[in-house]
Structure 1
């Protein structure tokens, strides 16, 4: 008999109020969808709440995921529709309005309200998970968000009793390796998360070789057994909709990601200011797509108060996947001047849509980009300006050359990712049935 599967939805349920997802949100959602499709008879959804792990009503959780998918794909809330109109005016793109209107409906406009109601229902009907409720069955617990792992409460006793075998997903160790880019207290919290994973994980999944190597080094330096982490790169949510062909008439670029110091938005905005001074009205435009994070005051001041870039830079914090795909497929390039990343899902999403990428010269970007993107030092102002100017030109040879490179790159996919994950499940089942059998977790490339 197969072990029960417990999928942790703590993060998604806790973020029902957000109309668009982060990368970690997308990963938790894709795992939930895969387990619903591939292992429906074994699956139970859980969340960690008030220091306890709790079972969720399965039907309500599945409905919650369906409405969340609808919200992310179309985002026809009042704010979402307002943002789309602002982008349409900014780019003078009449086609965008028609494209967005095709996905509009009365039901989609109230998706966020449905999510709030379902969240309340899920919390009210949840039931505490105990050793008795598992009925002596050893369950596999899947947590892919880091959520709640700063506390061992609810895990250690069940693992010690042989009733729970956790699979953890490691996104990055940035709060530990780059504490200057996170809030006070987050490095200590992340160290506790890593300790929980390394002490209790029956299997670990890393999003890249880069992350797996940093995790292994961290484990050795802090007295943990060397982790056996399967490397499974993340896929793209795109393409979902028919994509327009060719770049838009108005040259524009996209910076995609939460507005925070690590993403280096301030560098791009200063660069755009210089380009406006050099080129005036012929300067290409920049869409800054992403929610506001923390300690971003300087970047926000430039966006809101700098007259020089006001007509050439637009902040878009509430873009649905349909509009996002449309924009990525028509931009001259997607820009990633980050100082540090554990992966870079937006880079994979851009390449999946055959959109050129200009990115920081980071090891993980080279790993997942396969040599297709343009790579630059994140502080090389003249280099970035030359590259952006080259890609903004009509019939740009540099842009055309990258599009050819993208065609020859094997872009990471969710299909390959979940083939690796299902191999891990099979490996754990073999170890349970034959305790002395070797447990080699498959590595996806």
Structure 2
């Protein structure tokens, strides 16, 4: 990849904020961190504070990138406070004119003046289109998120030098909004996200494997992921038979989920059959995936579905809602069931929980022919796309 004389900067504002709050990386964060892992030896860190954007020196950037990658891996590392205090003592620099800026987490894109700053600095902005769910499904998002996301998209469509879309599905929706707003779509490349990171996760050291059969659900606890549906399934399943498989829910507390959390706290039936992990490092997630009967993915809508691809890459069956993007990235491998068909979901759970499950064996056979996308492939396509801009 030939960048010419242009500096390459990675916006780390989102990651710093989430690490400061002691949150675990989400799917978007994992994408941002994958870009740091690939570009850390040739890029500098960019940080925003209010209306100010500054670049860190190459040495300070390298140190911060190492800290963030350790955060991703869950490895021991110095606390963020002392690390940032040390970085603050180093010289901060204006963002060089004409820089490439990778803003994969959309930090500050809804801030008034971001577009003018890019124009003044002649910034070559590259962004990831993760999804347009705040616009297409605002009922699943926090109030006002639709307006904020529309503001981000306006900046992206009017000012980005290039857009990477995680799926054809996301790209189609993005094209629709560009046409609706009368904006010419910048150059766009559809590049699937890699699914090989968990295969390189360290062996689970502290995790105690469950001896009983269990199913797994992975994702932030928020309405779009449809945890409510799965918990109702478990109540219904338990009402039909005393001995049911366990459900393991791995996900940080999100938004608009107070009823789900209260149900998990107060429901005696769910207390006996559901285990919830709000903080789970990659080695913990890897261990739970390895032994699960299946990953459950009944989402109302997704832009991609990284847990689905990671599960399939590890050879773990998936039971999912039949979203177009799931079929795009996983073909006919998962067992797709409409969430309106409770009986079919219960039958699938019962079948997959059996040691000699015909349904599970059928999916395992289909899985033999599944070739998951990798981060190596992603960045090969990304650098080719970037070289054409």
By the TM > 0.5 criterion, same fold? yes
Of the candidates 278, 293, 301, which is equivalent to residue 240 of structure 2?
278
State how 1:325-344 maps to structure 2 within 5 Å: 325-344=286-305
1:12 counterpart = 2:15: yes
Structure-2-length-normalised TM-score: 0.92
Shift of 1:315: 1.0
Shift of 1:249: 4.0
Q: Cα–Cα, structure 1 residues 403 and 248, in superposed 2: closer, same or farther, change >3 Å? A: farther
RMSD after superposition: 2.0
State how 1:6-405 maps to structure 2 within 5 Å: 6-16=9-19, 17-37=21-41, 40=42, 43-74=43-74, 108=76, 111=77, 114-123=79-88, 125=90, 127=92, 129=94, 134=96, 138-160=98-120, 163-236=122-195, 237-241=197-201, 249-280=211-242, 282-405=243-366
**CA offsets, 1:149-186, max 9 Å, x none?**
0025354244355x311111111110011111111111
Which whole-Å CA distance do the structure 2 matches of 1:375 and 1:179 have between them? 25
Which whole-Å CA distance do the structure 2 matches of 1:242 and 1:294 have between them? 31
**CA offsets, 1:44-96, max 9 Å, x none?**
21012121211124333333333333344346xxxxxxxxxxxxxxxxxxxxx
Contact 2:203/2:283 (8 A) holds in 1: no
Shift of 1:279: 1.6
Contact 2:56/2:93 (8 A) holds in 1: no
Which whole-Å CA distance do the structure 2 matches of 1:206 and 1:72 have between them? 23
Where does the alignment leave 5 or more consecutive residues of structure 2 unmatched?
Answer: none
Q: Which moved more, 1:391-400 or 1:22-31?
A: 391-400
Which whole-Å CA distance do the structure 2 matches of 1:35 and 1:364 have between them? 28
Q: Cα–Cα, structure 1 residues 62 and 155, in superposed 2: closer, same or farther, change >3 Å? A: farther
Which whole-Å CA distance do the structure 2 matches of 1:119 and 1:401 have between them? 51
Which whole-Å CA distance do the structure 1 matches of 2:212 and 2:17 have between them? 39
Shift of 1:240: 1.3
Contact 1:57/1:122 (8 A) holds in 2: no
Equivalent residue pairs, number: 380
SS of residue in 2 equivalent to 1:7: strand
Contact 1:352/1:411 (8 A) holds in 2: yes
Where does the alignment leave 5 or more consecutive residues of structure 1 unmatched?
Answer: 76-107, 429-445
**CA offsets, 1:281-340, max 9 Å, x none?**
x20000110001111112111111000121110110011111110110110001011001
Contact 1:259/1:296 (8 A) holds in 2: yes
SS of residue in 2 equivalent to 1:311: helix
Which whole-Å CA distance do the structure 2 matches of 1:114 and 1:59 have between them? 19
Which whole-Å CA distance do the structure 1 matches of 2:66 and 2:12 have between them? 13
Q: Which moved more, 1:146-155 or 1:290-299?
A: 146-155
Shift of 1:200: 0.4
Contact 2:313/2:371 (8 A) holds in 1: no
**CA offsets, 1:186-230, max 9 Å, x none?**
110000000000010111110000000000000000111134310
SS of residue in 1 equivalent to 2:241: helix
Q: What is the match of residue 88 of structure 1? A: none
Contact 1:73/1:320 (8 A) holds in 2: yes
Contact 1:142/1:168 (8 A) holds in 2: yes
